[in-house]
Amino acid sequence: MADASLNALIEALRRLPGVGVKSASRMAFHLLQHDREGAQHLAQALQQATTRVRHCSLCNTFTEQEVCPTCLDPQRDATKLCVVETPADQAAVERTAAYRGRYFVLMGKLSPLDGIGPRDIGLAKLFERALDGVVQEVILATNFTAEGEATAHVIGETLKQRGLKVTRLARGVPAGSELEYVDLGTIAHALVDRR
Amino acid sequence: MADASLNALIEALRRLPGVGVKSASRMAFHLLQHDREGAQHLAQALQQATTRVRHCSLCNTFTEQEVCPTCLDPQRDATKLCVVETPADQAAVERTAAYRGRYFVLMGKLSPLDGIGPRDIGLAKLFERALDGVVQEVILATNFTAEGEATAHVIGETLKQRGLKVTRLARGVPAGSELEYVDLGTIAHALVDRR
Ligand SMILES: [Zn+2]
Ligand SMILES: [Zn+2]
């Protein structure tokens, strides 16, 4: 396929996570042959999201506002702060309906092997948030992977030293798994049994 | 994730073939958190490809020109026309370096179950092209799937009736497989043994 625009499209699609050259070619072919409207739509959505979406000043999740709807919700218990790695993990906890406190979304996890340290995820912002004087308990809901556990450990040690109550999701969640893929019942149970 | 732009991006990504809601969420998260430049780049590539890429008036493949570079190449044997389903299949045949004739790219295959008939793929355009008086042999290189075989059958019967020599890639290609994933040696062998 010697076409410049087509090759550029395939290369651009390859930057998506989990997309190799074969998948990228199939996607480009599909869009150009069967769904040009979808391609235009995706172009606009990308443009709009990259210009509009920023981080909530309180919980760090993606939002178009200065403060996200979850943080603005007055019904939520401001004394509890649940720390998760990603918005998808937050959504998983929300779906259990077993938690009505606030959140902090790290947008990543500590990963020394990948060169991801405390400054690359929102740890300073989290500490500031957790030590606002209102939060009394921080619930660590990072994934039960090696990196998620290490991240929970670092956060937990720091916040305990500052006098906060720190709990961790109970080990009802199978070790080595990622929250996003865990069934609701298990997450709900782990929330109740947090230690 | 209650954010409108983010949800719109996830929905738009789901229109890509092979991308479910989990993959789409991961892609959106990755782009917004780690690669906004890549997202902008993809938006531009989509915009450019959908506005610039059209079909070669001779062989029907994707191109930005009226006639594609392959069709313009004077070194190629104009008496031979190789019929493939997609540009990826054409690329697979090209990589064998065992064929130096012309191509016609159907951009699909007959698939009655999916409602794809002769009018939905380039059959009329193919017949016009094959019966230009210069082409002497049409090599059917559609995939060796049920649909590819049916497509080859329909094309072959029509063109034989019009007095053209019609050959099919030899059965060196494993039945049920798709050209794009077949090793070069097998395709090259099948070209030599075409019947
Ligand atoms: Zn927030
Ligand atoms: Zn052409």
Convert the pLDDT of each residue in A133-177 to its tens digit. 999 999 999 988 889 989 999 999 999 999 999 998 876 677 677
Question: Is residue A26 less than 8 Å (CB to CB) from chain B?
Answer: yes
Q: Considering only the beta carbons, identify the residue of B29, B48, B69 that sits closest to A5.
A: B48
Mean pLDDT in residue range A12-24: 94
For CATH 1.10.8.420, the residue range(s) in chain A are 4-52
The CATH T-level fold of domain A4-52 is Helicase, Ruva Protein; domain 3 (1.10.8)
Question: Is residue A13 less than 8 Å (CB to CB) from chain B?
Answer: yes
The beta strands (E) that lie in chain B are given as 54-55, 62-63, 77-84, 101-105, 137-140, 165-168
User: Quick one: pLDDT band at residue A45, thresholds 50, 70, 90?
Assistant: very high
Residues B1, A26: C-beta atoms closer than 8 Å: no
Q: Considering only the beta carbons, identify the residue of B23, B91, B107 that sits closest to A18.
A: B23
pLDDT at B161 over 60: yes
CA distance to partner chain A, nearest, from residue B19 (Å): 10
φ, ψ of residue B82 in degrees (nearest 5): -100, 125
Residue B67 CA to residue B55 CA, distance in Å, equals 8
B61 CA to middle of ligand 2, Å?
6
The beta strands (E) that lie in A51-107 are given as 54-55, 62-63, 77-84, 101-105
For CATH 3.40.1360.10, the residue range(s) in chain A are 68-168
The residue assigned the tokens 């929102």 is A122
pLDDT at B171: 67
Residue A91 CA to residue A58 CA, distance in Å, equals 17
Mean pLDDT in residue range B56-77: 94
CA distance to partner chain A, nearest, from residue B96 (Å): 15
φ, ψ of residue B54 in degrees (nearest 5): -130, -165
Q: Considering only the beta carbons, identify the residue of A13, A17, A41 that sits closest to B26.
A: A17
| A48 contacts in chain B (CB < 8 Å) | 5, 8-9
Cβ contact A86:A17 at 8 Å? no
C-alpha A41, offset from chain centre = 25
- Candidates 2.40.50.140, 3.60.40.10, 3.30.1330.20, 3.40.1360.10; CATH matching B68-168: 3.40.1360.10
Residue B27 CA to residue B6 CA, distance in Å, equals 11
The predicted model scores a pTM of 0.78
A111 CA to middle of ligand 2, Å?
50
Alpha-helix residue ranges (DSSP H) falling in A64-180 = 69-72, 87-96, 123-130, 146-161
Helix axes A87-96, A184-192, angle to 10 degrees: 80
Which residue from B162, B87, B167 is spatially nearest to B132, judged by alpha carbons? B162
- Specify the range with the lowest mean pLDDT, choosing from A12-21, B14-23, B93-102, B150-159: B93-102
pLDDT at A191: 78
φ, ψ of residue B176 in degrees (nearest 5): 85, -5
